[in-house]
Amino acid sequence: MENREEKKGMPLLGDKFPQMVVQTTRGPMTLPDAYAGKWFVLFSHPGDFTPVCTTEFVAFQKLYPKFKELNTELIGLSVDQVFSHIKWEEWIKDNMGVEIEFPIIADTGAVAETMGLIHPGKGTNTVRAVFIVDDKGAIRIIFYYPQELGRNMEEILRSVRAMQFADKNRVAMPADWPNNDTLKDRVIVPPATDVYGAKERLEKAEQGEHVCLDWWFCHKKV
């Protein structure tokens, strides 16, 4: 077999998370191996001791137990030294009453370059990126936010829950699931790929297994 040139550039959806050894507030870690068998959310922030980032870390920590219920870990990152992360954690605990329990990567710039976290149009700090990685080490979702906008942690939690539900049940999720205006918490049956599948969808609809608005738009309760 012909050798393929190693893929370079920022990772894309479906790619394996790049192997890397990182220094964190909880000691050195090897990613993604440290979370083998678990999902994890890697999120970057522009810098320690900044107001928006502080509110984000407090929000992430408050939802941390819910992420853990989904077999999902959190890990933060910025181009700051470990002692800065530690002092910032102490400030958050002393002034906001929240103790940060997940690790924060102290990046020298290597991780940011590998993951595409520096966007020149938004300055030299890391953008607010989110990588949701599944229990097999594959990148399933990528979000990018500008430095001016804090993230919605409930949406990140919803995204993890939805992807896990979709994988388990082999379905797709409608907008705003599980609170879609039309379908409520029902899920989308994957569309047919040939005439036989289209016919089968309609037959199952007649049997009450799911509801079809047309052969290509079927939904069901799980």
For the residues of 155-202, what is the DSSP string, one character each?
Answer: HHHHHHHHHHHHHHHT-B--TTTTSBTTTBT-EEEPPPSSHHHHHHHH
What is the DSSP secondary structure assignment for residue 18, as one 8-state letter? P
What values do phi and psi take at 157, rounded to 5?
A: -60, -45
> Active site residue: 53, 74, 79, 205, which one?
53
Structural element, H or E, at residue 41 = strand 39-44
Q: Is there a catalytic annotation at residue 53?
A: yes
Q: Which tokens belong to 191?
A: 């569309």
Strands 39-44 and 72-78: parallel
Contacts of residue 55, defined as CB under 8 A and 6 or more positions apart, other chains included, come to 150
Q: Active-site residue numbers? A: 53
